């Protein structure tokens, strides 16, 4: 396997009035293609900050982040936005589906932005919603879906432009245990089908399902393990 993501000595400081908060204090990490990685740690340890950097949402104060060989920290706003659109899929804790759009329209949204034709959008959104077991919910709006169903739509949306990297920030955080387990199974299926998945979570079950677990504390990686490995 080759490295899809390379973070080298990454630091991220957030300047406040009196003193800066050092969210990341020199993190280096490589994620291989097809890997299923969970980042865990107590609140405030820097795991979400790291995820934001890996997803080119934020830029490091120092150090470099390379995704598919591109240093995303040096890209301008327009370039980095387009990079996210085409190469990275995001799943959020609170789903963030657009309430006025149907499940299908939510899934088609990133494709429309990427210039995918209407026919292909329809075909691909049907395929994705079937993949997440929501073939019978394509016309439903988010308010008509359960939390688990909304998260599955969000996962389908994240996969819309066939990203090379799927990032998830506490994807089971808003769900009950049973529904959370369904999402964990879905991530397992995505990994089995070759998707590179990085999740940040407090959910032990989700972390246990990952093939590799990175533990963080106080802005640094304190353990990088392959459970059962």
Give the residues lining the site for other proteins (CB under 8 A): 48, 52, 55, 57-58, 77-78, 81-86, 88, 90, 92, 94, 96, 98-99, 109-110, 113-114, 157-158, 161
| Rounded CA separation 37/16 (Å) | 31
Helices (H) and strands (E) in the chain, counts: 7, 10
- Give min distance, CB of 18 to other proteins, in A: 20
Spell out the long-range contacts of 170-173 with Cβ–Cβ below 8 A and sequence spacing 24 or more. Answer: 170/93, 170/200, 170/201, 170/202, 170/203, 171/91, 171/92, 171/93, 171/199, 171/201, 171/206, 172/201, 172/203, 172/205, 172/206, 173/93, 173/201, 173/202, 173/203
CA distance 193 to 191: 5
Residue whose CB is less far from other proteins, 110 or 219: 110
Q: How far is the CB of 85 from other proteins (least distance, A)?
A: 3
- As a whole number of angstroms, the distance between CA 27 and CA 9 comes to 5
**Cβ at position 211, least distance to other proteins in Å:** 26
Our CB check for other proteins shows the closer of 72 and 213 to be 72
Q: Least distance (Å) from other proteins to the CB of residue 180?
A: 21
* Choice between 53 and 207, CB closer to other proteins: 53
Considering the complex, state which of residue 99 and residue 229 has its C-beta at the smaller distance from other proteins: 99
Given phi > 0 = left and psi -120 to 50 = alpha, else beta, which region is 69? left
24, β-bridge pairs? 12
Closer CB to other proteins, residue 152 or residue 213?
152
Judged by beta carbon, residue 77 or residue 136, the one nearer other proteins is 77
Name the minimum Å distance from CB 179 to other proteins.
20
Cβ neighbours of residue 178 closer than 8 Å, sequence gap 6 or more: none
Minimum separation from the CB atom of position 84 to other proteins (A)? 4
């Amino acid at each position: 396997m080759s490295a899809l993501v390379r973070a080298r000595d990454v630091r991220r400081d957030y300047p406040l009035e009196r003193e800066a908060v050092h969210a990341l204090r020199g993190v280096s990490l490589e994620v291989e293609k097809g890997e299923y990685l969970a980042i865990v740690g107590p609140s405030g340890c820097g795991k979400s900050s790291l995820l934001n950097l890996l997803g080119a949402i934020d830029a490091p104060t120092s150090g470099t982040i390379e995704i598919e060989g591109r240093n995303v920290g040096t890209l301008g706003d327009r370039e980095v936005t387009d990079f996210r659109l085409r190469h990275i899929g995001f799943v959020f804790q609170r789903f963030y589906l657009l309430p006025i759009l149907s499940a299908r329209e939510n899934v088609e949204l990133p494709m429309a932005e990427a210039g995918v034709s209407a026919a292909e959008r329809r075909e691909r959104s049907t395929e994705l919603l079937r993949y997440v077991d929501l073939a019978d919910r394509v016309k439903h709006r988010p308010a008509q879906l359960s939390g688990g169903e909304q998260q599955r739509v969000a996962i389908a949306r994240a996969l819309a432009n066939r990203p090379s990297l799927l990032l998830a920030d506490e994807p089971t955080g808003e769900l009950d245990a049973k529904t959370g387990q369904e999402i964990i199974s879905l991530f397992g299926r995505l990994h089995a089908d070759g998707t590179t998945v990085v999740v940040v979570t407090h959910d032990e079950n989700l972390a246990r399902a990952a093939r590799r677990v990175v533990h963080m504390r106080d802005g640094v990686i304190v353990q990088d393990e392959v459970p059962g490995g």
